[in-house]
Amino acid sequence: MNAFTIPLEQVEIVEVAPRDGFQSINDPLPTADKIRCIQALLDAGVTRLEIGSFVSPRAVPQMADIGEIVAHFINRSELRLAALVPNLKGAELALACGIRELMFVVSVSESHNRSNVRQSVADSLSNLASITERLQASDTPGDKRLRLSLGTSFDCPFEGRIDWRQVEAVLAPALETTQGIELEVALCDTTGHATPYQVAEHFSRLGERFRDARLSWAFHGHDTYGMGVANALFALHHGATALDASAAGLGGCPFAPGATGNTATEDLLYALQGGGVRTGLDLPRLLEAADMIAALPGGQTASHLRNVPRENVPREKIMTSS
């Protein structure tokens, strides 16, 4: 391992295919197919997973079976399952299903927030306050963990480039609101327009601005412009400890026109393993899961590694990194 180039021995990869991936497919997939794909991801060593969203089934019909999917996996104590929630109702439903990691989503840009969750940023922040109160009142161990996903942290499909100070303007009140909660802040490149130097700037500026022991940082990237892996690595070198990715690169926000799939987990893993970073994932098995996900009807995938003949992938890169 090269200590000069890799800031962490271990990086957490958060697999988001079951949430960002499945939501990008219009026609509802059979629940059994979703469960089969999730199981394949777990077989590849995935332990952190965004399993889906507790949202209005009218807004995202693909997520209507989230309760059934969570019920299938919730007793697997080795898994860290997170679910997206846009409001208190979603949080209550998720907690009732046993989810202990809520992923609250709010966009930095007003227009994307309105398009995505049909409310102003200020209203989303009041929803965050209600969820925080709900978590603070809970005596269940592990209930005080939250991920704050800041959509359009670099670029908005309606407003264009986003400056780090605009992110600061949403993050500052969000941090005030969530005092006492262990918080992972994810800067999300919803459209995939970000470039590595912009990612570095946002992580380093915001990391300097908000120094707080209860905070950790994550990066959520899309690969629209082919920058996904580079962006994730720059995030890692500037303070992120968790990186979101989606097997086969399946994904995309239905409320962000023009954005394509998430950064493919297998592409990111290839880069990390090349630097000796341990992730716990097994690349050959991950490629099998990615193939299964890519075969789902109606999905848009964006993987590079899946297109390379398997026999051409160097042995040292495909060896398990656990």
Q: What is the DSSP letter of 190?
A: S
For residue 85, the minimal CB distance to ligand COA (Å) is 6
- Region 157-186 residues binding ligand COA, contact defined as CB under 6 A: none
For residue 10, the minimal CB distance to ligand COA (Å) is 27
Q: Determine, following the binding rule CB under 6 A, whether residue 113 of this chain makes contact with ligand COA.
A: no
Contacts of 273 (CB under 8 A, 6+ apart): 279, 283, 317, 318, 319, 321
In contact, 105 and 59? CB cutoff 8 Å = no
Cα 219 to Cα 98, 243, 300, 307: the distances in Å are 25, 5, 21, 25
Q: Identify the residue among 12, 13, 18, 20 touching Zn ion (CB under 5 A).
A: 20
Give the span between the Cα atoms of 67 and 53, in whole angstroms. Answer: 9
Size of the site for ligand COA (CB under 6 A): 21
Q: Identify the residue among 5, 9, 43, 118 touching ligand COA (CB under 6 A).
A: 118
The region of 17-25, 108-116, 137-145, 309-317 touching Zn ion under the rule CB under 5 A is: 17-25
SS3 12: strand
Q: Is 97 a catalytic residue?
A: no
State the residue for tokens 């993987």: 303
- Region 56-75 residues binding ligand COA, contact defined as CB under 6 A: 56, 58-60
Q: Identify the residue among 105, 215, 286, 302 touching ligand COA (CB under 6 A).
A: 105
Q: Determine, following the binding rule CB under 5 A, whether residue 282 of this chain makes contact with Zn ion.
A: no
Q: Determine, following the binding rule CB under 6 A, whether residue 109 of this chain makes contact with ligand COA.
A: no
Which of residues 20 and 65 has its CB atom nearest to Zn ion in the complex?
20
Tell me the per-residue interface mask from 248 to 287 with ligand COA, x by CB under 6 A, - otherwise. -----x-x--------------------------------
CB-nearest residue to Zn ion: 20
Contacts of 251 (CB under 8 A, 6+ apart): 16, 17, 20, 21, 23, 24, 222, 261, 262, 300
For residue 84, the minimal CB distance to ligand COA (Å) is 6
Q: Identify the residue among 22, 54, 203, 234 touching ligand COA (CB under 6 A).
A: 54
Which of residues 20 and 282 has its CB atom nearest to Zn ion in the complex?
20
To the nearest 10°, report the CA torsion of 92, 95, 101, 104.
-10
State the residue for tokens 């130097």: 197
State the residue for tokens 């950790």: 216
State the residue for tokens 């997939």: 29
Among all residues, which ones are annotated catalytic? 253
Q: Which stretches of the chain bind Zn ion, using CB under 5 A?
A: 20
